[in-house]
C-alpha cells in the first residue's frame, strides 16, 4: 500500500500557480527522487505535504488518512518529517541540544540525550556535540539536518536538497546514511539537483516543471524522456 | 528530568546559602533588611519573567498584569468579600493563568512578531492598570490598605518583616528552582528552540502553541503568587507600584543585566542591582535630586556594554580563569 499519496495538489500564491494538479504516490520502503529545474515547485510541494503551506486544493494522504491542514509538529509525531533546503539553525543551542529536542518526540529526556548522541555519531558528527550549529561547516550543517530528522524516528522523510552545495566526496556520508535508513524500512522522498546522487539512490523518479508533473518512471527511463531533456536543456528548434 | 536538576537540589552551595541567609532578620538593621527583602522579591519576579522573556525569548511586558492581579485582587477579595487571603492567592493565580494563556494564544493565533508581541503585552498591562484605577472594588486610584500583620499564618500573615523575609526567601528559591527544573526538562529544550527559530522548532515536532502557553502560564502563576506575598509585606496595595509597567521594565532590566535565559542570571541581576539602586538612592538622593538615577543608569549601561550576554557568563568566565582552576591551567612542565 502507498504510504504517501499526493492527489491533484494545487498551490496558488495569489495569481501565481506554484503547483498545478500534481499527483503521485510513494510506496512503503521506496526512495522516490523528485527533480526539476530551479523554481519548478519542488520545495513548495514539500511544504504542501509537510503542513507548512497546505495546498489550495487537492489531497495529501499519509498512511491512508488525509493530512491536509495537520500541523507540521503533529505530522512529525505521526512519522512524517521534512528537512529544509536552507539549513535551519538554532543560535544558542549545541548540536546535541538540537538533536535531543528532535529525539524528545518519542523518548523521555535522558533516553533522548543518549539517542541524540548516538544519531550524531551515526551521521558522522561525533565529537561536534557541543558546537553551536552556526559554527558548523556547510557539510556538517546538512548532516545536522539529517540527524534532526533521524532523531524523531520517522517512517517517511522528505529530504530537500541535503546534498546541494557539497562536493562529490562530501556527499558520500549522507548517501550512506540515506541508504542505511532506507534498508531499515524508512521511506524517503528526496528533492535533489545533484543528478549523480539521485540516480544512485532513487528507485523511482518524478519530474516537475513549472509546477506540473511532466514525467514519472525509473531513473534510467527518466534520463531518456524527451520532456525531461526539454525541461533541462531547452526545446529543440524543430522549425 | 535531567540529573543536573537533582545535582542542584542536592548542592551544598544552595543549602549553605540558605542556612547562612536564614538568621539575617536577627542580624540586620531594619533598613537593610528591607533592601534584602526587596531584592528577594525581584529575584523571584525576574526569575519568573525569565521563563517567557529569557528562555522562550518573548519580551513580555505583561508581567505587571500578573503581579498586579496577585496583589490587588487578593487584597480586594479579603477587604470587600472577606475571602481568606490564602484562597485569594489561589483565585488570583488562577485568573493570572487564564490571562496568560489568553495572551499566549493571541500571540500564536495572530502570529505576532517580536515587536507586536512587546506592544500587545504592554497594552494588556496598561489595560490592567486602567481596570484597577477605574474599579472601586479593586481599590481605584487610591489603592487598598490591608489590616495590620499580626502574624496569623492562617490569615496569610507572617509577622512583619522577619516573616516576610523568610516567605520571600522561599519564593525566590522556588522561582529559581523552577527555572533550573525547566531548563533540565523537555520544556526547556522546546522553549529554547522556539526562541531561536519557531518554524524550525515546529519542523522537529515541537508543539509551539502548547509550550508558549505553558511558559506564559508558569511565569504568570509565579508572578501572581509573588505579587500576593509582596502586597502583604507592603500592607498597602498601591496600583501605581504594583500594576504599572514600570515594575516590568525593572524586572526586564535585572534579568537582562544578570543574564537572560540562564537559571541564575536574573537572580544575580536582581541581587546586585536592587541593593545598588536602593543604596545609591539612600546616599545620594538628598545630595542632588536624580543623581542616583544617573549613576545607576551609567552602571547599567556599562554592564551591558562590557558583557552583552549578562553578568552571569562574565562571572563564569572569571571563575574558570581563577588561579588554580583545573580546566584552563596551562600544563606545568617539569624542570
Task: Show the cell assigned to B81.
Answer: 468579600
Q: Which residue has the higher pLDDT, A40 or B266?
A: B266
Average pLDDT of the segment spanning A206-227: 86
- B204, B262, B265, B309: which to substitute to probe chain A, counting the most A Cβ within 10 Å? B204
Q: E-strand spans in A88-146?
A: none
Pairwise CB contact (< 8 Å): A92 & B195 = yes
- A47, A53, A98: which to substitute to probe chain B, counting the most B Cβ within 10 Å? A98
By percentage, how much of chain B surpasses pLDDT 90?
63
Report the alpha-carbon angle B230-B233-B234, nearest 5. 85
Per-residue pLDDT band for A237 (boundaries 50, 70, 90) equals low
Helix axis angle, B208-234 to B186-196, nearest 10°: 110
Residues A239 and A130 in one domain: no
Residues A4 and A71 in one domain: yes
**Euclidean distance between CA atoms A190 and A81, whole angstroms:** 12
Domain B3-245 belongs in CATH node 1.10.3470: yes
Helix (H) or strand (E) segment spanning residue A109: helix A109-123
Instruction: Evaluate if residue A198 carries a pLDDT over 80.
Output: yes
**CA–CA min distance B310, chain A (Å):** 14
Residues A118 and A7 in one domain: no
Number of folded domains in chain A?
A: 2
By percentage, how much of chain A surpasses pLDDT 90?
51
Instruction: Evaluate if residue A166 carries a pLDDT over 90.
Output: no
Q: Does residue B30 sit at the A interface (CB-CB below 8 Å)? A: no
Residues A219 and A130 in one domain: no
Report the alpha-carbon angle A86-B52-B266, nearest 5. 110
Per-residue pLDDT band for A235 (boundaries 50, 70, 90) equals low
Residues A6 and A112 in one domain: no
Per-residue pLDDT band for B333 (boundaries 50, 70, 90) equals very low
Residue B325 is predicted with a pLDDT of: 61
Of A228-237, B67-76, B160-169, give the lowest mean pLDDT range: A228-237
Per-residue pLDDT band for B66 (boundaries 50, 70, 90) equals very high
Residues A65 and A93 in one domain: no
Q: Does residue B281 sit at the A interface (CB-CB below 8 Å)? A: no
**How many interface pairs between A and B have CB atoms less than 8 angstroms apart?**
80
The last residue of one of the domains, among A113, A132, A153, is: A153
Residue B330 is predicted with a pLDDT of: 42
Per-residue pLDDT band for A105 (boundaries 50, 70, 90) equals very high
CA of B55: which chain A residue's CA is closest? Answer: A92
| Residues whose CB falls within 8 Å of the CB of residue A20, separated by 6 or more in sequence, listed in order | A10, A210, A211, A212
The last residue of one of the domains, among A153, A169, A197, is: A153
Instruction: Evaluate if residue B113 carries a pLDDT over 60.
Output: yes
Average pLDDT of the segment spanning A122-151: 89
Instruction: Evaluate if residue B38 carries a pLDDT over 50.
Output: yes
**CA–CA min distance B204, chain A (Å):** 5
**CA–CA min distance A119, chain B (Å):** 14
**CA–CA min distance B183, chain A (Å):** 11
Nearest to A22 by CA among A238, A4, A38: A4
Instruction: Evaluate if residue A27 carries a pLDDT over 90.
Output: yes
Residues A5 and A74 in one domain: yes
Average pLDDT of the segment spanning B200-228: 95
Pairwise CB contact (< 8 Å): B205 & A73 = yes
Instruction: Evaluate if residue B300 carries a pLDDT over 90.
Output: no
Query: Which of B189, B200, B261 faces A88 most closely, judged by CB atoms?
Result: B200
Question: Does the structure's ipTM exceed the value 0.90?
Answer: no
- B2, B56, B111, B189: which to substitute to probe chain A, counting the most A Cβ within 10 Å? B189
Residue A169 is predicted with a pLDDT of: 84
Q: Which residue has the higher pLDDT, B291 or B330?
A: B291
- A91, A104, A133: which to substitute to probe chain B, counting the most B Cβ within 10 Å? A104
Residue B332 is predicted with a pLDDT of: 42
Residues A163 and A232 in one domain: yes
Pairwise CB contact (< 8 Å): A73 & B202 = yes
Q: Does residue B190 sit at the A interface (CB-CB below 8 Å)? A: yes
Residues A108 and A201 in one domain: no
CA of A104: which chain B residue's CA is closest? Answer: B186
Residues A32 and A65 in one domain: yes
- At B178-201, the pLDDT tens digits run 999 999 999 999 999 999 888 889
The last residue of one of the domains, among A153, A174, A192, is: A153
Query: Which of A52, A89, A105 faces B205 most closely, judged by CB atoms?
Result: A105
The residue segments making up the domain with residue A106 are 88-153
Instruction: Evaluate if residue B309 carries a pLDDT over 90.
Output: no
Amino acid at each position: 500500500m502507498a504510504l504517501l499519496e499526493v492527489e491533484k495538489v494545487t498551490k496558488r500564491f495569489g495569481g501565481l500557480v506554484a503547483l498545478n494538479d500534481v499527483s503521485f504516490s510513494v510506496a512503503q520502503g521506496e526512495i522516490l527522487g523528485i527533480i526539476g529545474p530551479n523554481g519548478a515547485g519542488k520545495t513548495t510541494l514539500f511544504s504542501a505535504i509537510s503542513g507548512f503551506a497546505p495546498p489550495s486544493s487537492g489531497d495529501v494522504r499519509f498512511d491512508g488518512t488525509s493530512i491536509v491542514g495537520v500541523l507540521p509538529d503533529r505530522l512529525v509525531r505521526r512519522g512524517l518529517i521534512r528537512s529544509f533546503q536552507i539549513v535551519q539553525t538554532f543560535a544558542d543551542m549545541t548540536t546535541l541540544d538540537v538533536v535531543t529536542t528532535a529525539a524528545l518526540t518519542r523518548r523521555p529526556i535522558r533516553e533522548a540525550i543518549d539517542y541524540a548522541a548516538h544519531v550524531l555519531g551515526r551521521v558522522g558528527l561525533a565529537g561536534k556535540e557541543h558546537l553551536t550549529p552556526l559554527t558548523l561547516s556547510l557539510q556538517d550543517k546538512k548532516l545536522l539536518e539529517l540527524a534532526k530528522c533521524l532523531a524523531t524516528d520517522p517512517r517517511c522523510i522528505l529530504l530537500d536538497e541535503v546534498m546541494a552545495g557539497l562536493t562529490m566526496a562530501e556527499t558520500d556520508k549522507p548517501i550512506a546514511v540515506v541508504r542505511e535508513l532506507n534498508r531499515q524500512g524508512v521511506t524517503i522522498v528526496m528533492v535533489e539537483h545533484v543528478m549523480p546522487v539521485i540516480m544512485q539512490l532513487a528507485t523511482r523518479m518524478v519530474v516537475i516543471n513549472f509546477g506540473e508533473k511532466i514525467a514519472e518512471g525509473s531513473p534510467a527511463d527518466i534520463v531518456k524522456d524527451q520532456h525531461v531533456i526539454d525541461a533541462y536543456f531547452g526545446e529543440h528548434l524543430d522549425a | 528530568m535531567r540529573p543536573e536538576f537533582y545535582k542542584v537540589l542536592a548542592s551544598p552551595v544552595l543549602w549553605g546559602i540558605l542556612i547562612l541567609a536564614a538568621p539575617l532578620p536577627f542580624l540586620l538593621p531594619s533598613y537593610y533588611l528591607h533592601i534584602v527583602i526587596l531584592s528577594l522579591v525581584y529575584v523571584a519576579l525576574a526569575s519568573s519573567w525569565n521563563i517567557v522573556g529569557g528562555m522562550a525569548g518573548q519580551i513580555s511586558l505583561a508581567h505587571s498584569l500578573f503581579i498586579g492581579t496577585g496583589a490587588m485582587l487578593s487584597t480586594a477579595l479579603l477587604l470587600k468579600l472577606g475571602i481568606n487571603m490564602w484562597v485569594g492567592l489561589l483565585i488570583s493565580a488562577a485568573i493570572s493563568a487564564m490571562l496568560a494563556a489568553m495572551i499566549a494564544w493571541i500571540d500564536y493565533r495572530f502570529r505576532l512578531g517580536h515587536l507586536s508581541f512587546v506592544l500587545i503585552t504592554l497594552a494588556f498591562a496598561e489595560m490592567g492598570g486602567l481596570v484597577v484605577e477605574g474599579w472601586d472594588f479593586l481599590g481605584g486610584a487610591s489603592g487598598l490598605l490591608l489590616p495590620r500583620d499580626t502574624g496569623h499564618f492562617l490569615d496569610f500573615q507572617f509577622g512583619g518583616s522577619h516573616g516576610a523575609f523568610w516567605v520571600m526567601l522561599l519564593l525566590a528559591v522556588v522561582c529559581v528552582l523552577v527555572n533550573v527544573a525547566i531548563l533540565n526538562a523537555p520544556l526547556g529544550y522546546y522553549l529554547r528552540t522556539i526562541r531561536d527559530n519557531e518554524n524550525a522548532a515546529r519542523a522537529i515536532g515541537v508543539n509551539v502553541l502548547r509550550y508558549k502557553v505553558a511558559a506564559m502560564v508558569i511565569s504568570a502563576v509565579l508572578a501572581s503568587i509573588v505579587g500576593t506575598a509582596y502586597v502583604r509585606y507592603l500592607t498597602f496595595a498601591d496600583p501605581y507600584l504594583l500594576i504599572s509597567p514600570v515594575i516590568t521594565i525593572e524586572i526586564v532590566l535585572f534579568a537582562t543585566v544578570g543574564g537572560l535565559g540562564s537559571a541564575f542570571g536574573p537572580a544575580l541581576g536582581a541581587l546586585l542591582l536592587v541593593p545598588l539602586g536602593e543604596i545609591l538612592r539612600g546616599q545620594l538622593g538628598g545630595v542632588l535630586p536624580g543623581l542616583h538615577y544617573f549613576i545607576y543608569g551609567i552602571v547599567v549601561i556599562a554592564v551591558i556594554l562590557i558583557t552583552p550576554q549578562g553578568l552571569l557568563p562574565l562571572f563564569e568566565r572569571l571563575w574558570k580563569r581563577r588561579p588554580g582552576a583545573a580546566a584552563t591551567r596551562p600544563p606545568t612542565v617539569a624542570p
